[in-house]
Structure 1
Amino acid sequence: MTVGNPPREHHFVTQSWIKRFVDADGQLYSYDHDSGEVKFRSSKKIMNIRDLYTQDPGGADDTTIETRDLQKVDDDGAKVMSALLAGDLSDAAKARLAEFLSVQIMRDPQRLFDYSRGAQRFLSRLFVEAFTAADFADFQTYFGELVSEDEYDHLMGLGPKQAALEIARIQLRLEVDNWMAELPFTDLIREPEGREKLRDVLLTLEWTLITATPYSFVLGDQGILFDPGQLRRGLRAPLDSSTALILSPPGNAPSSGIGKRAARPYEPSAMNYESAARSRRWVVGAKSALDVVKSQVNGEPLPSREPPAIPS
């Protein structure tokens, strides 16, 4: 149980990242879809959800993921982002930022809340495909690199009956309070294997920093922009009001370090529209830029820790 007065409003986009989008007057402006207003707001009040990373809020009330584990991730991410923006485009900076991005992708609230049901469907399909495939090569046509040959062999060694029991046990563990699978996310933060797989995918891509005039880019509450399930096709991430990162499929092997170029005339507005369109509630940036893109916010609500309603 967490002692003292633990933080309750947990940011899924870090405050240090949000603060990089202040306007020329030093104020942080944000668009809030709920109110429809563009106005000054503190970074403490936006892009957060109450008890998002608290394990068992009504019981153990453990907030150490937020106060210890994610705090370290956030501090490291802020340092490497500052170094990159100051001109460090090395392979070391790329690897450190890839580590931060991998956690940032997985900490998105919708991804956390969807994990349980998605994992259950995945496990059911895993069982069916494993025991109907002719061999591992045939199995790979369905699952690609998601399951290793050793894991496939282990499943085969269990046999259909025992494998079904093991998968059922895992699925039962995913039925947790408030429809939130705590364990996989804590493992992603506390154990390196999960985030290393995601980081390694990011490092297969071509990294390019693009620069524009100050106060050009906005940041939406999705933070990192990509199509779910299509991460190998690349992603985009505004880093501050004048700089954005683009990861794209390489022609051959990815270049060493991080490339840099001036943004093409259409790129800031295109990325701003995407940031706004993918956002659920908040977009931050220069007031003039927010006035332009606020109509693009799609208005889908942020997820809640409340379980879904059961149809009558």
Structure 2
Amino acid sequence: MAMSKKKGTTPPKKHHFVPVTYLKRFTDHNGQLHCFDRQSGIFTKTLPKAIMAVNKFYRQDWAPAGTDPNILEITLGQWLEPGAKNSLDRLIQSPTLLTEEDTCILVLYLEFQRIRVPRQVEMAKELIKDMIMRLGPQDIMSEVREGKFSLNMNNSVRFEYVKMAMGEFYPWFETMEWEVIEAENDAAFITSDSPLSLYNPEIPPPAEAGIGLAGTMVFFPLSSRYVLLMRHSGVRDRADFSNLLPLPDPLNSDTMISITHGAIWSADVVNNFNWKMLRLSERFIVAERLETLQACIEIDDLKGRIVERA
């Protein structure tokens, strides 16, 4: 795809791995996010454009002549993210009006959001390193282990991972049951730097389950008021299914996605969900209110004390 930047524009330097248009769904009435940094333990207020971004994260300096090295960031900003914004609005407000194009955009957007974040990229790098250490020439690998040489991954590995991972999730998404759930009044959802997360009751976070296990659910907060929850079709509430049962790979299907709407979660259920999102995040969680973050962290502290006593 050839794409040129508009005349007089400066190539973007900060590349968001969580889109600004998405983060705006969690801002307060002043357009700001309340943020908690898990590394420093500090609460701050910030604008969506100032968080969850890395300088030149999608820049491909090895792009061939005539191709903008920022083509991925430009394409995301000009096509996928604006299209997804409209489709997400319809998913929340009028799911019966979703078109086939909306569904395709949503599935692509959700899959890319899953694999684009630094947490997933770093996990992929570690897996690749581990594979090289196991399968590479053992005389050289021994010297790497002894510290005589280092094994480093360049930035192109990140893009190779994205290319490899694209297409792994959308067949599952298309066959799962989607449910849009609302938070009751005075409750609110958070989101994080890993907004699309996988959760299985048998695999406590921060570990993430594989999507092909029967009990694995997909979490994706849609806004402060709504969350998208995906479950595997046909296994919900079945006592004869283990949450760790591997499911067969989904078949390509043209059937419509099943979407339900109207359930409302109490504040306690929302706070417990937020705690899981906290545990599945890498560093940052954000919300429209400071109290929402504090309630989430209080649950984390309480569960931590319970574990220590056990």
Q: Normalising by structure 1, what TM-score?
A: 0.66
In structure 1, list runs of 5 or more residues that go unmatched: 128-174, 189-193, 299-312
Q: Distance in 1 between matches of 2:34 and 2:105?
A: 29
Q: Which letter maps to 1:259?
A: T
Partner-residue secondary structure (3-state), 1:118: helix
Match in the other structure for 1:202? 173
Match in the other structure for 1:47? 52
Q: Distance in 2 between matches of 1:278 and 1:200?
A: 23
Q: Distance in 2 between matches of 1:269 and 1:65?
A: 36
Match of 1:7 among 12, 31, 53: 12
Q: Which letter maps to 2:277?
A: S
Q: Structure 2 vs 1, CA of residues 55 and 279 (structure 1 numbering), >3 Å: closer, same or farther?
A: same
Match of 1:288 among 284, 287, 291: 291
Q: Distance in 2 between matches of 1:293 and 1:201?
A: 29
Match in the other structure for 1:263? 264
Match of 2:34 among 26, 29, 43: 29
User: Is residue 93 of structure 2 the alignment partner of residue 86 of structure 1?
Assistant: yes
Q: Show the 5 A alignment for 1:140-289.
A: 178=154, 180-185=156-161, 187=163, 195-213=166-184, 216-227=188-199, 228-232=208-212, 233-251=216-234, 256-265=257-266, 266-285=268-287, 286-289=289-292
Q: Distance in 2 between matches of 1:28 and 1:297?
A: 21
Q: Which letter maps to 2:269?
A: E
Count of matched residue pairs: 244
In the TM superposition, residue 45 of structure 1 has moved relative to its aligned partner by 1.0
Partner-residue secondary structure (3-state), 1:181: helix
Partner-residue secondary structure (3-state), 2:233: coil
Q: Is contact 2:174–2:257 with CA below 8 Å preserved after alignment?
A: no
- Report the identity percentage: 22
Partner-residue secondary structure (3-state), 2:197: coil
Match of 1:105 among 114, 121, 124: 114
Deviations 1:206-260 (A, max 9, x none): 1111112355111111101215451132211111011001101221699843111
Q: Is contact 2:124–2:161 with CA below 8 Å preserved after alignment?
A: no
Going by fraction, where is helix more abundant, 1 or 2? Answer: 1
Q: Structure 2 vs 1, CA of residues 32 and 95 (structure 1 numbering), >3 Å: closer, same or farther?
A: same
Q: Which letter maps to 2:217?
A: G
Q: Is contact 1:94–1:258 with CA below 8 Å preserved after alignment?
A: no
Partner-residue secondary structure (3-state), 2:59: coil
Deviations 1:92-127 (A, max 9, x none): 3444312210111110112223434524766999x9
Q: Normalising by structure 2, what TM-score?
A: 0.66
Q: Distance in 2 between matches of 1:182 and 1:279?
A: 19
Deviations 1:61-88 (A, max 9, x none): 8221112246422222212111112212
Partner-residue secondary structure (3-state), 2:198: coil
Q: Is contact 1:281–1:297 with CA below 8 Å preserved after alignment?
A: no
Q: Which letter maps to 1:234?
A: M
Q: Structure 2 vs 1, CA of residues 71 and 181 (structure 1 numbering), >3 Å: closer, same or farther?
A: farther
